[in-house]
Structure 1
Amino acid sequence: MENIASIFKSHLEPKEVYKGGKNLPSSSKKIYKLSSNENPLGASPKAVSALKLAAETIDIYPDQTDIRLREALVQDFNNELTVNQFICGNSGSEIIDMLLRAFINEGDEVIYSNPCFLPYSVFSRWYGAKQIDIPLTNPNYDLDVEGILAAITNKTKVIFLTSPNNPTGTYIPKTVLDEFLNHIPKNIIVVFDEVYRHFADAKDYITALPYVKKGHNIIAINSFSKTYGLAGQRIGYCYTTTILANYIRQIQKPFLLPSTSIEAAIGALKDQIFINKTVELVKEGRHFLAESFTSLGIRFWPTQGNFFIIDPPLTEMKFTDRLMKEGIMVRPVSQFGAPGKVRITIGTQEANKALIEALKKIKPE
């Protein structure tokens, strides 16, 4: 037992791990969960119906591959991509892990920009990558294009970009992304996390789709957890060039996706009415909360996601605890590289109003 440490990989020394948001506590008091960026309307009725039907056959193995879901995604993308350009997995996080497993060898370098989704760094460490953090610029959390380009070496293998970004809500304008991709060496993979894309309405917002169609080495990550309300089903996907997708598919496990998840996702893609209702609710809530934060003197950053990042009037933990006493769950995001900040999910109008009433009771220290 004394030499047990000799079999461990050195890059897997005990370090910080990703911690998800808290679940709702057992309480008779009404609590609004505005901490996990979940869909405030729940799940698509069509997804729920499909899931219930699939539950009748959970004794049978699911589809061996993700082909039926990929076919549904082709329709959702208006046939601009082929079935061979999609890869599905157990959540967007699973896709991130799969991509790193496919491309990273020990000693390779991965670039990301804090504040950002913690799995970029945590998962990279699992595979022995050297992690290079080029922080978003102050005070607006913009992408430091020059900083990233200057950090590229012959060991750089993957660069993470996120738009809209979690937890800041900021995005990468088309002109910035154009410039960035035009300077990236051809042997580097750009992982473009766009899981909040449905909520973005900036005129110069852009997804990875046109760049994939042009043949860039870019892989776009998406999830069914936000817009579609399937966070509990843990299902996501990515799309990229056919060459990259065929390579990644070599390490995809058979029977990976539960039958309930497959059917729920296919059902959700068919429910455009629910998608539109979700996006409309979020945009209305964004406008309401922005005006309310301004009137209360709370510093916040404009967002393209279904959440805000704010500078709370108390320390982040005191603020979080104080709001919890008022029945509002929010998320401190020091772990995401934003010390002292708090992320608040946009909820229903009832939840948003409850949040503002709670904020009125909190006095700055």
Structure 2
Amino acid sequence: MSNGIESIFKPYLEPKEVYKGGKNVPASNRKIYKLSSNENPLGASPKAIAALKKAAKKVDVYPDQTDIRLREALVKDFDGQLTADQFICGNSGSEIIDMLLRAFINDNDEVIYSNPSFLPYSVFSRWYGAKPIDIPLLKPNYDLDVKGILDAITNKTKVIFLTSPNNPTGTYIPKLVLEDFLDQVPKNIVIVFDEVYRHFADAEDYITALPYVKSGHNIIAINSFSKTYGLAGQRIGYCYTTATIANYIRQIHKPFLLPITSIEAAIGALDDRLFIEKTVKTIHDGRTYLMGRFNEIGIKYWPTQGNFFIVDPPIPEFDFTDKLMEHGVMVRPVTQFGAPGKVRITIGDQESNEALVNALKKIKADI
């Protein structure tokens, strides 16, 4: 019997689609290659691990009240192109997305995003009473539908999510396309530009949000320490934007938000340029290797600028992921991301990539 408490529940928090992260490796006596969560195949930076171990001796005391030390380290990482008051740090890129929506969204506002995409864009928007508007990426290449987004803008539009490189498709927004889009968006709309995979992009016309932040556009760039830096378990991310926007958002930034281990690990990771270079090279080499093997085996894939591929499996996606798991390889179906029938495969180290290729050959041979 209800006690009446439901009368104060927010109607837009009724059970709907919920974001579910990738599965962890199950307990097993055999080797499992986890290519399902876009994690760093090299682990974490040795400098980050050393800093984390040192910080572990201080977990009995409160961490830094603010994120200023990490923001100052980010200023150095960005070669002084931004100031410390232009960065905001939080518990992962997802937490940053939540914080931004909390700062800008009111009931019945509209948020535009483009499927296939990272599910929290729409799920988190609903948490704050917004209406998510999906303007799908254009098939067959998953290009941004600039005209579709511009046509969908109303006086209720508050936030537009752009992602480059995009998860799960691996596609990106070329520089001229982005600039044309930014020139046409009304100035009272915030562009949230998710660039967490930026280190892996090598297209000549790929660009981050940095020059547009510097020129004063209302754009917020989301970044994470989970991918390139190998700190997914520490749950730390950040964004950068104009000082005006950052100072506004900082009003809802909680004190003592970041654990001391995360702060120190992130600062250590930023200081390890050699590890970052090794990570990027590993992904680029793996990307080239897998494209060649996919072509040989006959696996349809899309060119990627990330550390993963989206593929069109030769059998139904859940059968495909189950078959790969039988061969000790974990990958992820991405129907939940708005790409029904497709599967995302993370680029691993060479051993993992070879295990994937061998499994694919066996699956194809059995069809």
What's the TM-score, normalizing by structure 1?
0.99
Alignment correspondent of 1:71: 72
SS at match of 1:361: helix
Alignment correspondent of 2:271: 270
Q: Deviations over 1:27-67 (max 9, x none)?
A: 11011000000000000000000000000010000000000
Alignment correspondent of 2:150: 149
Alignment correspondent of 2:97: 96
SS at match of 2:16: coil
Q: Deviations over 1:96-148 (max 9, x none)?
A: 00000000000100000000000000000000001100000000000000000
Alignment correspondent of 1:235: 236
Q: Deviations over 1:157-199 (max 9, x none)?
A: 0000000000000000000000000000000000000000000
Letter aligned with residue 44 of structure 2: A
CA distance in structure 2 between the aligned counterparts of 1:11 and 1:269, rounded to whole angstroms = 39
Letter aligned with residue 284 of structure 1: D
Letter aligned with residue 333 of structure 2: P
CA distance in structure 2 between the aligned counterparts of 1:275 and 1:236, rounded to whole angstroms = 16
Alignment correspondent of 1:226: 227
Within 5 A, what are the aligned runs for 1:1-365?
A: 1-363=2-364
CA distance in structure 1 between the aligned counterparts of 2:299 and 2:69, rounded to whole angstroms = 47
Letter aligned with residue 145 of structure 1: V
SS at match of 1:191: strand
Deviation at 1:3, TM superposition (A): 2.8
Deviation at 1:2, TM superposition (A): 4.9
Deviation at 1:5, TM superposition (A): 2.2
What's the TM-score, normalizing by structure 2?
0.99
CA RMSD of aligned residues (A): 0.7
Letter aligned with residue 80 of structure 1: Q
SS at match of 1:362: helix
Name structure 2 gaps, 5 residues minimum. Answer: none
SS at match of 2:228: coil
Letter aligned with residue 324 of structure 2: L
Letter aligned with residue 135 of structure 2: I
CA distance in structure 2 between the aligned counterparts of 1:263 and 1:173, rounded to whole angstroms = 35
Deviation at 1:16, TM superposition (A): 1.0
Letter aligned with residue 358 of structure 2: E
CA distance in structure 2 between the aligned counterparts of 1:164 and 1:149, rounded to whole angstroms = 21
CA distance in structure 2 between the aligned counterparts of 1:293 and 1:175, rounded to whole angstroms = 31
SS at match of 1:57: coil
CA distance in structure 2 between the aligned counterparts of 1:3 and 1:236, rounded to whole angstroms = 39
Deviation at 1:314, TM superposition (A): 1.0
Letter aligned with residue 300 of structure 1: Y
SS at match of 2:186: coil
CA distance in structure 2 between the aligned counterparts of 1:228 and 1:92, rounded to whole angstroms = 13
Deviation at 1:222, TM superposition (A): 0.1
The alignment covers a number of residue pairs equal to 365
SS at match of 1:28: coil
Letter aligned with residue 180 of structure 2: E
CA distance in structure 2 between the aligned counterparts of 1:330 and 1:161, rounded to whole angstroms = 25
Letter aligned with residue 188 of structure 2: N
| % identical equivalent positions | 78
Deviation at 1:210, TM superposition (A): 0.1
SS at match of 1:244: helix
Deviation at 1:4, TM superposition (A): 2.9
Letter aligned with residue 340 of structure 2: P
SS at match of 1:69: helix
